Amino acid sequence: MVGLLAQRSAFHHLKGLPLLEVALLTVASMTHKPKNMGLLRHRVLEQPRRMLRSLYSALPFGVAVRLARGKPDWAFYIGDRSRRVTIRDYLDSLSVTIDTSADIQRRMLSRTYDTEVLDVVQRFVPRGGTCVDVGANVGAHTLAMALRTGDSGVVHAVEPGPAFLERLRENLHLNPQLAARVVIHDFGLSDHEGTAQWQDSAHDPGTATMHWVDPKRQSRAVSITTLDRLARDFSRLDLIKIDVDGMDHIVLRGAAETIARHLPVIVFETTCCDAEQIAAAEEATSRLEKMGYRLYKMERGRLTATRFPQLTMNTLAVPACVALDGTRSPPDEFKKSA
């Protein structure tokens, strides 16, 4: 059963890959019927990626960047050429500095990033709203939230990674009109207070983990706390975005009081490629459903009601007091009728 769920869920994640890789994985999965799509993905795509990156690396760097600007899929193949590029039209009007060795930042070359989450920001964040970006990285979503909230809103960007913090601060410095709306928190979120080990990803530059730390590789201690403690003095909270590499369900454990008090819209990662991830997704979705939340898939700009295990890479959780057009009823009215 776990293998079936992992395989079915993995196909929802193919949309984030270049079309050639989608085709290769589809054929391979039909042939091999894998239990672990993550392992199949690595085995099947390793050689083609090397070939394409080799071909792409032969292009002058400026040409490679121009291709990526027009076709986001091509950004994937810039590969390990670590150069800094500053663009002036991220989300049409913002300036950001990009390290081309990091996949998240490479994809920002196309002037946007993770359009499904950006659609959620546009739909559910009001002017003057409050957002928490858990796992802010270099600010791809933080900047979008800050644009949306306006001068009277606030975005709490939570990021414990030193290198990411440096780039996040740099990107805010490049956009001084947004800097006053963003509060940076240089710690991680969990279900308790203390410290945790933070480690750069060995396979995906520009990402990191506090969950799957390899004891054979260097890591560093970072402070952690709970969202309940961070948000204890918030007067409102409209949106929580969580992307913390396998810890989303743990962050939600430490946010129960905040969620019950403010009933924010929540978008979180529900990758289901192995038994551990499936169990984590089941815990997170079950917790939110018990609190009266409705779950939605986010696919090509459409929201489709769903339940575990029919999940995509990101799942949207909407409280009963919020309509899908973003209209919010007074929380007290919702609580009285619940």
pLDDT, tens digit (0-9, with 9 covering 90-100), for 200-232: 988 788 889 898 899 999 999 999 999 999 999
Instruction: Please check the confidence at residue 75 and state whether its pLDDT lies above 70.
Output: yes
Q: Which of 79-88, 214-223, 269-278 has the lowest mean pLDDT?
A: 79-88
Of the two residues 56 and 8, the one the predictor is more confident about is 56
Q: What is the pLDDT of residue 227?
A: 98
> Which of 27-36, 135-144, 168-177, 276-285 is predicted with the least confidence, judged by mean pLDDT?
27-36
Query: What is the average pLDDT across 94-109?
Result: 90
Residue 311: phi, psi to the nearest 5? -120, 155
For the chain, the average pLDDT equals 85
Q: Any idea which residue has 């990674």 for tokens?
A: 161
pLDDT for residue 2: 43
Percent of the chain predicted with pLDDT > 70: 80
Domain boundaries, the chain: 2-91+98-104, 114-337
d(C-alpha 71, C-alpha 17), whole Å: 12
Spell out the residues 6+ positions from residue 63 whose beta carbon is closer than 8 angstroms to its own: none
Instruction: Judge whether residue 1 has pLDDT over 70.
Output: no
pLDDT tens column, 148-192: 999 999 999 999 999 999 999 999 999 999 999 999 999 999 999
Cβ distance 138 to 285 under 8 Å? no
SS3 190: strand
pLDDT(326) > 90 = yes
* CA 73 from centroid of its chain's CA atoms: 18
Q: What is the value of pTM for the model shown?
A: 0.84
| 210 CB-near residues (< 8 Å, 6+ apart) | 160, 188, 190, 196, 197, 198, 199, 222, 224, 244, 245, 247
Q: Which is more confident, 57 or 179?
A: 179
Strand ranges, E, within the chain: 84-90, 94-99, 130-134, 154-158, 182-185, 188-190, 194-200, 208-209, 220-226, 239-242, 265-269, 293-299, 302-306, 314-319
Give the number of residues written for the chain. 338
pLDDT for 79: 62
**Averaged pLDDT for residues 69-78:** 73
pLDDT for res 12: 40
Rounded to 5°, the CA angle 139-142-146 comes to 135
CATH superfamily of 114-337: Vaccinia Virus protein VP39 (3.40.50.150)
| Cβ atoms of residues 205 and 185 within 8 Å | no
| Choice between 42 and 244, residue whose per-residue pLDDT is larger | 244
- Is the CA virtual torsion 239, 242, 243, 244 positive or negative? positive
Q: Which of 97, 66, 96, 103 is nearest to 81 (CA)?
A: 103
